[in-house]
């Protein structure tokens, strides 16, 4: 079996990946792709045609005869989610958008402020009109914006390092 895959993705966002097959001869192979736990749904197409992959545990399985130049496009769909920390019944939670942890940078707001995440009556995040999580402070909705913490970590300011807050209390709107 001489199958080689070239992978391109939008790392670290990981909303999509493109795999290009290189092989010296057509080869029947099962391609097994890991399904991230944060993915709510996945769309797979091979050479522009949507294919229904078989699911086995946390893997997508595509069995076919692969030829050089075949292209597999995988799109991961997800939304905002709460991850309680340090345990499942904790009063504190972090917000994730797919694989990315969102945080409040000291460049955008007071990381020591008494912010809480606004939740709907169902206990899920209640996004604002822009689709972003809403923070509530003592005076009402806060203009602070949560964004991927990787943005700060990948290009830190060494002379003026910023602090990032990722854990927040929660406020249930009834």
Residues 6+ apart with CB under 8 A from 84: 90, 92, 93
Whether the Cβ atoms of residue 28 and residue 62 lie closer than 8 Å to each other = no
Unique residue bearing structure tokens 């009556």: 121
Range of the structural domain that residue 26 is part of: 3-77
Are 115 and 41 within one domain? no
Are 110 and 128 within one domain? yes
* E strand segments, 13-165: 16-23, 27-34, 41-46, 49-50, 54-56, 59-66, 71-77, 80-84, 93-97, 100-105, 116-119, 135-137, 140-142, 147-148, 164-165
How many CA within 13 A on the CB side of residue 19?
17
pTM over 0.85: no
Are 44 and 66 within one domain? yes
Whether the Cβ atoms of residue 102 and residue 133 lie closer than 8 Å to each other = yes
| CA separation for the pair 162, 107 (Å, rounded) | 7
Q: Which of 29, 45, 77 is the last residue of a domain?
A: 77
Are 96 and 58 within one domain? no
* Per-residue model confidence as pLDDT tens for the chain (174 residues): 578 999 999 877 888 999 999 999 998 999 999 999 999 999 999 999 999 879 999 999 999 999 999 999 999 999 899 999 989 889 999 999 999 999 999 888 899 988 999 999 998 999 999 989 999 988 888 888 899 988 766 666 777 778 889 999 998 875
Q: What is the CATH number for 41?
A: 2.60.40
Domains: count for the chain: 2
């Amino acid at each position: 079996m001489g199958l080689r895959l070239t992978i391109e993705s939008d790392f670290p966002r990981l909303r999509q990946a493109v795999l290009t097959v290189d092989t010296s001869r057509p080869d029947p192979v099962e391609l097994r792709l890991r399904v991230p736990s944060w993915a709510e749904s996945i769309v797979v197409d091979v050479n522009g045609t949507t294919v229904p992959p078989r699911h086995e545990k946390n893997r997508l399985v595509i069995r076919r005869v692969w030829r050089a130049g075949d292209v597999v496009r995988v799109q991961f769909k997800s939304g905002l989610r709460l991850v309680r920390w340090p345990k499942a019944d904790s009063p504190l939670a972090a917000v994730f958008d797919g694989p990315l942890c969102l945080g409040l940078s000291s460049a955008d707001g007071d990381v020591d402020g008494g912010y809480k995440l606004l939740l709907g009556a169902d206990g899920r995040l209640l996004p604002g009109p822009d689709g972003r999580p809403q923070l509530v402070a003592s005076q009402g909705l806060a203009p602070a914006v949560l964004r991927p913490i990787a943005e700060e970590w990948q290009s830190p300011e060494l002379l003026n390092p910023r602090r990032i807050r990722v854990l927040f209390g929660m406020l249930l709107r009834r």
